[in-house]
Amino acid sequence: MSALASVERDLRAAVAAEVIAPSAAYLTDQTEARGLGGRADAVALPHNTEEVAEVVSWCYAHGVPIVPRGGGTGYAGGAVPLDGGVVISLERLDRVRSFDPLLWRIEVDAGVRTAELRRVAREGGLLFPPDPGAAEQSQIGGNVATNAGGPHAFKYGVTGAWVTGLEVVVPPGEVVQLGGALRKDVAGYDLKHLLVGSEGTLGVITAAWLRLTPAPEAAWPVIGFFDGVRGGVGAIERVVGSGLTAAALEYIDSETMRYAGASFPGEVPGGAFAVLAEADGSTDEAARIRADLLDVFGEDALALYAPESPQEIAALWRWRDGLALVVDAQRGGKASEDIAVPLDRLGEAIEASLEVGRSFGIPACSWGHAGDGNLHTTFLLAGDDDRELELAPKLSEALFELALRLGGTISGEHGVGFVKRNWLAKQLGPRAFELHVAVKRAFDPQNLLNPGKKA
Ligand SMILES: Cc1cc2nc3c(=O)[nH]c(=O)nc-3n(C[C@H](O)[C@H](O)[C@H](O)COP(=O)(O)OP(=O)(O)OC[C@H]3O[C@@H](n4cnc5c(N)ncnc54)[C@H](O)[C@@H]3O)c2cc1C
């Protein structure tokens, strides 16, 4: 019997969790579009924390790599098992453990899906603000492990800002609780926030205590269309400079609009660069911010679109959430990154990132979370052309180089995963990188948790 089959057989015999043979669904994430895939020896499907701990213990005792997996919507290859080992999929840890609407807090298993959590919160009159796309598929554990953002991170912050506690299985298989249903806790080093954004390299997150906030009474989006990158970025800077507390501030460049314009739920001037902002709060406050946004955009917008009915508003956000899919469909493959730069370098970064595509002869477009200086520049690759797919790492590296040159970061929200692992040392510098590696060693001395990722 092969070593591969024996990991599956021996693990199945040793643990309570269901253990299955790896199928394609557990070997890829969104990086499949750039040709990345992996192989695993087995997939474990635990139902609870104890079963996760048992699998981690077995793997640690047998020197077998562990790859935690949420919804598989990541863009950095973090959930892809690179070279064997056991994928621990958290999909069956899907309970809401407790919900206290009057105390604005909720405790959930790691496998609860983002959209489900947001639905439960909304039914209690509350909001869980982090809203990365693919919310019907991504899981809270994955969001915490990548410290995911999304459009509303501009006003409300990224996932980590809403985490007050975590339950985590750490090597060699012990359950620890970091924080809890607490709004404040400054005892000890902030281990909880070390786990936030750790991408499955320090522990397997099994549950999270989350803060919630009262849902805004009203949320009204406004879109301005501008003449080119400079016109659009000028409007973005004016919104920030006027002290307007927009809940979201997004950009969609003219090339992305060329692909997605046909499905936009309103009129789109040809060749325009779009800026989408949202006004939220009490009805009065949202109305005031909306009016101010229309004034600020109106100074030099080619056109404005400001839907008011819930149906039109939902259609606009559905369109925004679908941008990635529309772009994916153009050529069948893509390399998409999430560099972030200081806000005053945003225009330069968008233009230079599109120039990278031109220099390689590959079509490129860009959209992203403008207020956070976070770009999703995307290179459209022919999915059936190996020569183009092989360009993906070079195109991405040109973006990482650009981000660092502009004082930015290689990742604003997707994480480092496999795709960016050689770039972290460049961003952090030697001593900070040494400390980074020392943290990893302290948690995972045998380097079995998601090896080859993050560092
Ligand atoms: C259409 C689309 C739009 C997107 N928009 C955004 C966006 O706006 N903002 C944004 O930030 N991201 C966005 N993403 C990326 C992705 O959805 C997020 O990174 C999401 O948080 C990943 O969650 P997941 O459950 O799918 O994690 P996975 O892809 O399964 O895993 C991601 C990483 O987390 C680790 N991990 C997962 N679960 C656990 C756990 N329980 N314990 C420890 N480690 C774990 C994995 O090992 C891996 O390293 C988008 C993706 C798509 C497809």
Place of tokens 């453990």: 97
Question: 220-254: per-residue pLDDT in tens?
Answer: 999 999 999 999 999 999 999 999 999 999 999 99
Whole-angstrom Cα distance, residue 289 to residue 308?
Answer: 14
**DSSP 8-state secondary structure symbol assigned to residue 272:** P
Average of per-residue pLDDT across 86-90: 98
Ligand 1 atom nearest the C-alpha of 135 is 17
pLDDT band (50, 70, 90) for residue 219: very high
Contact criterion met (CB below 8 Å) for 165 and 181:
yes
For residue 31, how many other CB atoms are within 10 A of its CB?
24
Reduced to 3 states (helix: H, G, I; strand: E, B; else coil), residue 294 is helix
**Segments in 157-206 forming alpha helices (H):** 191-195
> 33-59: buried (b, 16+ CB within 10 Å) or exposed (e) per residue?
bbbbebebbbbbbbbbbebbbbbbbbb
CB atoms < 10 A from the CB of 398, how many?
20
Task: State whether the beta carbon of 114 lies less than 6 angstroms from ligand 1.
Answer: no
For a substitution probing ligand 1, which of 26, 27, 69, 147 has the most ligand atoms within 8 Å of its CB? 69
Question: Does the CB atom of residue 452 touch ligand 1 within 6 A?
Answer: no
**398 pLDDT more than 60:** yes
Q: How many CB atoms lie within 10 A of CB 378?
A: 27
Which ligand 1 atom minimizes the distance to the CA of 78? 49
Res. 33 pLDDT band, cuts 50 70 90: confident
pLDDT band at 3 (very low <50, low <70, confident <90, very high): low
Q: Model confidence at 129, in pLDDT bands (50, 70, 90)?
A: very high
pLDDT, tens digit, 9 for 90 and up, residues 254-311:
999 999 999 999 999 999 999 999 999 999 999 999 999 999 999 999 999 999 999 9
For residue 25, count other CB atoms closer than 10 A to its CB. Answer: 10
Q: What pLDDT, on a 0 to 100 scale, did the predictor assign at position 35?
A: 85
Q: Would you place residue 116 in the very low, low, confident or very high pLDDT band (cuts 50, 70, 90)? A: very high
Q: Which residues contact 294 (CB under 8 A, 6 or more apart)?
A: 222, 304, 306
Please state the rounded mean pLDDT for residues 365-373.
Answer: 98
- DSSP string computed for 418-443: TTTGGGHHHHH-HHHHHHHHHHHHHH
Going by alpha carbons, the residue nearest to atom 3 of ligand 1 is 133
Q: In this structure, which amino acid lies at residue 327?
A: V
The answer to whether 367 and 323 have CB atoms below 8 angstroms apart is: yes
Indicate if the pLDDT at residue 139 is higher than 50: yes
Looking at residue 103, the DSSP 8-state letter turns out to be G
CA distances, 159 to each of 33, 96, 129, 210, 253 (Å): 26, 18, 8, 9, 26
Query: Is residue 29 a contact partner of residue 75, using CB atoms and an 8 Å limit?
Result: yes
Residue written as tokens 């990154």?
337
**Orientation angle between helical segments 228-241 and 283-298, nearest 10 degrees:** 140
Residue with CA closest to ligand 1 atom 18: 74
Rg (the chain; Cα; Å): 22
Length of the chain: 455
Q: Ligand 1 pocket, 139 CB below 6 A?
A: yes
Q: At what angle do helices 228-241 and 346-360 cross, to 10 degrees?
A: 150
Q: Is the pLDDT of residue 2 over 60?
A: no
3-state secondary structure of 449: strand
pLDDT at 1: 46
Residues 55-74 pLDDT 10s: 999 999 999 999 999 999 99
Q: Is the peptide bond before 172 cis (omega within 30 degrees of 0)?
A: yes
